[in-house]
Chain A
Amino acid sequence: MWSRRQGRLRPTVCGVEELRRRRREREAALRKARREQQLVSKRLLRDDAPEEAGEGCVAAILGETEVQQFLRQAQQGTEEKEREGALVSLRRGLQHPETQQTFIRLEGSMRTLVGLLTSNQALLQLEAARCLHELSHSEQSTVAEACLPATSYLLTYLSGHSSDFIELCLYTLGNLIVESEAVRRQLLPQGIVPALAACIQSPHVAVLEALGYALSQLLQAEEAPEKIIPSILASTLPQHMLQMLQPGPKLNPGVAVEFAWCLHYIICSQVSNPLLIGHGALSTLGLLLLDLAGAVQKTEDAGLELLACPVLRCLSNLLTEAAVETVGGQMQLRDERVVAALFILLQFFFQKQPSLLPEGLWLLNNLTANSPSFCTSLLSLDLIEPLLQLLPVSNVVSVMVLTVLCNIAEKGPAYCQRLWPGPLLPALLHTLAFSDTEVVGQSLELLHLLFLYQPEAVQVFLQQSGLQALERHQEEAQLQDRVYALQQTALQG
């Protein structure tokens, strides 16, 4: 998947610095949009880069007469090449929002385009589909809604055989889905779910990737938990999605990325997660995690985090389901290789993508919270020290690391004995020097557990100026009760 994408990259004229600057801008825009809960908007999907002239010259905006002329030529021209050429010119013009507006305002234009889309002229059909695809990129929902007459045909063509054409239809549908609730409201009764369930059996990787994209857009819709996810869960789609995520020679990273995100949107909506557990989601995702950790060691491939992120999220959220215990899911995951794999991924994030460390630690928390087995694995695999090395990364990461350590310590003396002596106490003395209240608070909780189950630690704590470290926080409202309690324990011990 990765090499195919790179092969289709347009050669750009701008340099590395310019690319980096643009990427930072895009990232800032996305971050802002997410905070406003607008991340699913089309305008963020299509990055405007008019300077990149992939096809030679920048297309001109077309006026009403020109649009009409091209449509007439396409419909009634005498030479095949002429008709195709007219549609190509129209498509280029449709890259401009102004032309898109002109097109949709022109009476009969969509009707003509749909007529060409459903014609028996294969190449005209393809070019008409490309025009529709261009329209689907619009940032205006009015343009997306103008495409409504075409949707039943796009769905019909999903059960065809021409893989390039199906791929195009899927990306077009995905774009339309993102932009307009009116489109989604029409697509569901038109049978998009059964159409996708049939199409997902295609052997073509490009089709599957496109399908995953379209499905992920459908699942991100605001109304998805109530209106869309139940029918998806009732179809055969979940089983097929999980099949695409099974590690092995047939696993395609690009396809897996799309379906992993689809699964994440389904799972975090919490509609019916036990159903997914029943389909073996925990087992599949657990094996995939192991596979990812193996891949991370072998290749410098930037991009594995795109798959790792949703897999971690799915596993973490699924582990909170009560069904995990009953189906024996925990048993499947009692395998300590899961912990080993997770730490290998944590190291990978540490080096390549530190912003994903919290997500990895989230899974570690959910694995260790109620599991003596996994807590023991962390100890027996000597993973406490690497865990402590993550403390300086950020406050969020510190709190999570300390929480995982609390998960271990709260299990009693057998566990605390393995936590001390060692690097833990010095690390705690260090975090007590932080100013962040939550970090300090979590440190205090851990200290409390350590003192309770491993009283010898108290002496060493005192010797290493622990009391002074505590004193610093005795005025802090959220901390003072616990500080006082610890001071008492230390002085009495």
Chain B
Amino acid sequence: MQLPPALCARLAAGPGAAEPLPVERDPAAGAAPFHFVARPVRFPREHQFFEDGDVQRHLYLQDVIMQVADVPEKPRVPAFACQVAGCCQVFDALDDYEHHYHTLHGNVCSFCKRAFPSGHLLDAHILEWHDSLFQILSERQDMYQCLVEGCTEKFKTSRDRKDHMVRMHLYPADFRFDKPKKSRSPASAEAPGDSGERSEGEAMEICSEPVAASPAPAGERRICRHRIPSTICFGQGAARGFKSNKKKTKQC
């Protein structure tokens, strides 16, 4: 297919168009038996016209999906430690460190050191757990905001909010980032039957002994083998960090 040589130059030049030629239709043009009418055509989603292009698209997607499933080889670097105070996790790949940092040190509550997956959840936590004005206001008006992005509903209690999230947003009833703030009485411990849960929150709640007795001392294993700072948890259970300050001396 040969294009006129001036065409590429035309594309590179500025916008514009020649003056359109005058239109002058004769009624005999559309007279029977002829029936041509100039009209733009529209094709809906499933039309067969799209078959070839769709097939090309899916061939491309197949390649992409295959490659996404591949776990890329991580470039290794000499081992280095996380520089955040109180954390001595060691890494030999930058991607691992980036992920660790964002997970554990990214959105951290400065009051209780809990880490959250997003700024949005951190903000909600600080408001509901550490803001005394919030407590006062919540006695008089609905202050507990729905945690789902884009939902503006507010509720009187965190319980009501949870019900809303379960009913309207189909969230799990045990959504890990919406634990109600516990009172300090041992009686208010969470159901111990959650097999997926780490038990450290509850264990600390009921007996203020260190976690050594627990079968699954959660949190990170350090190569340097110091005990995990008890303030590192993931928004679960009680405010361990406030319980016994003397534990803090054992942190690294």
**B198 and A375: CB pair below 8 A?**
no
Chain B: number of interface residues, binned into ranges: 35 or more
- Which parts of B24-53 form the interface with A (CB within 8 Å)? 24-26, 28-29, 32-36, 38-46, 48-53
Query: CA–CA, A27 to B24, complex, Å?
Result: 48
**B215 and A76: CB pair below 8 A?**
yes
A265 on the B face (CB < 8 A): yes
Query: Closest residue to A52 on the B side, CB-wise?
Result: B66
Question: A interface, by DSSP: helix, strand, loop or mixed?
Answer: helix
Counting chain B CB atoms within 10 Å of each CB, the highest count among A189, A198, A297, A383 belongs to: A189
**B220 and A377: CB pair below 8 A?**
no
Query: CA–CA, A377 to B10, complex, Å?
Result: 11
Residues of A within 8 A of B207 (CB): none
Tell whether A27 pairs with B15 under 8 Å between CB atoms, given A164-B95, A190-B170, A411-B23.
no
B245 on the A face (CB < 8 A): no
Say how far A235's CB is from chain B's closest CB, in angstroms: 8
A179 on the B face (CB < 8 A): no
Query: CA–CA, A336 to B20, complex, Å?
Result: 11
Tell whether A118 pairs with B99 under 8 Å between CB atoms, given A45-B62, A337-B15, A389-B1.
no
A347 on the B face (CB < 8 A): yes
Say how far B46's CB is from chain A's closest CB, in angstroms: 6
B70-106 CB contact bits vs A (8 Å, 1 = yes)?
A: 1110000000000000000000000110111011101
**A376 and B196: CB pair below 8 A?**
no
**A372 and B21: CB pair below 8 A?**
yes
Query: Closest residue to A388 on the B side, CB-wise?
Result: B1
A353 on the B face (CB < 8 A): yes
- Which parts of A456-477 form the interface with B (CB within 8 Å)? none
**B55 and A336: CB pair below 8 A?**
no
Tell whether A190 pairs with B169 under 8 Å between CB atoms, given A120-B233, A305-B56, A411-B23.
yes
Residues of A within 8 A of B38 (CB): 368-370, 406-407, 410
* Chain A interface, number of residues (Cβ within 8 angstroms): 144
**A268 and B44: CB pair below 8 A?**
yes
Choose among A123, A293, A365, A444 the residue that contacts B99 (Cβ–Cβ < 8 A): A123
**B70 and A8: CB pair below 8 A?**
yes
Residues of A within 8 A of B133 (CB): none
A35 on the B face (CB < 8 A): yes
Interface pairs (24), CB distance under 8 Å: A5-B64, A8-B70, A23-B59, A35-B48, A35-B51, A115-B198, A118-B234, A120-B218, A121-B219, A149-B172, A152-B172, A175-B65, A186-B170, A189-B168, A268-B45, A320-B42, A344-B11, A372-B21, A372-B23, A375-B21, A407-B38, A445-B35, A445-B36, A448-B29
Q: Give chain A's interface residues, CB within 8 Å of chain B.
A: 5, 8-10, 23, 26-27, 30-31, 34-35, 37, 39, 44-47, 49, 54-55, 75-76, 78-80, 83, 108, 111-112, 114-115, 118-123, 125-126, 130, 133-134, 137, 149, 152-153, 156-157, 159-162, 164-165, 171, 175, 186, 189-191, 193-195, 197-198, 210, 213, 225, 257, 261, 265, 268-270, 290, 293-294, 297, 305-306, 309-310, 313, 316-317, 319-320, 334-337, 340-341, 343-344, 346-347, 350-351, 353, 355-356, 358-359, 362, 365-366, 368-370, 372-373, 375-377, 379-383, 385-386, 389-390, 406-407, 410-415, 418, 442, 444-445, 448-449, 452-453, 481-482, 484-485
Can you name 12 extra interface pairs (CB under 8 A) apart from A165-B99, A189-B170, A369-B40? A47-B66, A159-B119, A162-B106, A191-B149, A268-B50, A336-B17, A359-B53, A373-B17, A381-B6, A382-B4, A448-B36, A452-B26
Q: Give chain B's interface residues, CB within 8 Å of chain A.
A: 1-4, 6-8, 10-13, 15-26, 28-29, 32-36, 38-46, 48-72, 95-96, 98-100, 102-104, 106-107, 115, 117-121, 148-151, 168-172, 175-177, 194-198, 215-216, 218-221, 232-234
